[in-house]
Amino acid sequence: MKKKVLIFALGLTMAAGMLTGCGGKKENADTNTEKKAADDADKTDQKNEPSGKSAYGDVKADGKYKFHIIVKSYSSDFWQATVKGAQDEAELLGVEVQCDGPNTSSDIADQVQMLNSAISGKPDGIGIAASDQDACLDSLQTALENEIPVVCFNSGIPDAPKGSVYATATTDNYAAGEIAAEHMYDAIKDEIAEAKAPVRIGEVNQDSTSESVIQRGLGFIDKMSELCAADGKKLAVIGNDKFVADCKDSGDESTADVIIEVRVPAQATNELCATEASALLNEEDLVGLMGTNQETTEGILTANENLKKLGKDVSKGQVIGCGFDSGAIIVAAVENDILYGAVTQAPRYQGQVTIDLLTMVANGEEVTDVDTPAYWYDSANISDPEIAPNLIK
């Protein structure tokens, strides 16, 4: 998606009257005044000069812009890292940013109200990670009518009113879900091959409304189905209707060798995510369990505190657990081989690049969508220089 905004520069012409007489002191005064004006202009320009290189190339602000950033959940480590990235980039570029977010990613109405309030404040641009890809549509239309550009990050809004969203900065979440499936399959394929009865893989999703989480869940399901089929195994998908309907092939449970059961909590709280995870961990045929974001992965680990099912040895009946994002709890579980591994995004970079994109739009520059990275990490590579900076501890 490409958009361009034209900023019209307003020139200011100053006329100076000529005074008669030999005014040596007056000439000095005029010279000093001109010098002071030039110095003041230089200082104004310097405020908008970056003190270092911006995250997304050589971005510079042409004005003292004001932006508003809205994340999915202000209580999450992931989103706090995103906020920090946005704040640091704003300081670098000499622009202002206000950051907001609801208590949890399930508080969709609260996030929409925050978006509406941001629009009422008439900032130079708004960045939003939408918890619900449809709930914001009316608000985006209002932003469009008020000529307030919007940049989406982490989650896109595919059906946004034309012209309202200028760019989206997000991980290829479908591909990230595929990465998790590939690594889990490596760990459980022998168990699947030797099983005399169907085995189960659980998937706990934050919700069925956020584009990013939906795509991660579908990427995981579709890749797992593809890998099983390549080894001559049939797979079926059961559970949440959204994922059953939208996956490439939901299969037939009555003839399946592998069953993926998808569960979605009523709200993305640790307690409710743990409840869904516990139900799956109590299934005797469970061989793998996937969480699609920080909250669901931490919920899986909470459930495991009592059940003690997760580990890296399927032959001993341990369940291979995989997750998404990081945070102290998840990182520790990976380091201690409780969690087989996880996929991390680059939350700080998402915040930085959102400010860069908003600044470019305000400058009148052309912008395009930005792919933000994702990496698989486990106990073997968790300290690698490409991985470690993207982990929240």
Specify the range with the lowest mean pLDDT, choosing from 34-38, 51-55, 253-257.
34-38
Residue 39 pLDDT > 50: no
Average pLDDT, the chain: 88
Share of the chain above pLDDT 90, in %: 82
Residue 189 confidence class, pLDDT cut points 50, 70, 90: very high
Residue 375 pLDDT > 80: yes
Residue 10 pLDDT > 60: no
Residue 33 pLDDT > 60: no
Question: Could you give the domains of the chain?
Answer: 66-171+348-372 (3.40.50.2300), 173-344 (3.40.50.2300)
Residue 52 confidence class, pLDDT cut points 50, 70, 90: low
| pTM metric for this prediction | 0.80
Q: What is the mean pLDDT of residues 98-111?
A: 95
Give pLDDT, residue 131.
Answer: 94
Residue 22 pLDDT > 80: no
Q: What is the mean pLDDT of residues 304-315?
A: 94
Residue 25 pLDDT > 90: no
Helix/strand/coil percentages in the chain, nearest 5: 45, 15, 40
Residue 42 pLDDT > 80: no
Residue 57 confidence class, pLDDT cut points 50, 70, 90: confident
Q: Is 275 helix (H, G, I), strand (E, B) or coil?
A: helix
- Quickly count: other Cβ atoms within 10 Å of residue 254's Cβ: 7
Residue 54 confidence class, pLDDT cut points 50, 70, 90: confident
Q: What is the mean pLDDT of residues 315-334?
A: 96
Residue 336 pLDDT > 90: yes
Specify the range with the lowest mean pLDDT, choosing from 53-57, 71-75, 203-207, 389-393.
53-57
Q: What is the mean pLDDT of residues 291-315?
A: 96
Element spanning 286, H or E: strand 286-291
Q: What is the mean pLDDT of residues 339-358?
A: 97
Residue 55 confidence class, pLDDT cut points 50, 70, 90: confident
Which pairs count as long-range contacts for 15-19, CB under 8 Å and 24+ apart, including other chains?
none
Q: What is the mean pLDDT of residues 95-106?
A: 95
What is the distance between the alpha carbons of residues 370 and 345, in angstroms, rounded to a whole number?
A: 13
Q: What is the mean pLDDT of residues 105-127?
A: 97
Give pLDDT, residue 226.
Answer: 98
Write the pLDDT tens digit of every residue in 258-288: 999 999 999 989 999 999 999 999 999 999 9
C-alpha neighbours within 13 Å on the C-beta side of residue 384: 11
- Length in residues, the chain: 393
Give pLDDT, residue 218.
Answer: 98
Q: Are 343 and 376 in contact (CB under 8 A)?
A: yes
Left if phi > 0, otherwise alpha if psi is -120 to 50, otherwise beta: which for 350? alpha
Q: What is the mean pLDDT of residues 9-38?
A: 35
Q: What is the mean pLDDT of residues 190-212?
A: 95
Residue 20 pLDDT > 90: no
Residue 310 pLDDT > 70: yes
Q: Which amino acid is at 241?
A: D
Specify the range with the lowest mean pLDDT, choosing from 17-31, 40-54, 88-102, 250-264.
17-31
Q: C-alpha 184: how far from its chain's center?
A: 23
Residue 251 pLDDT > 90: yes
Element spanning 114, H or E: helix 108-120
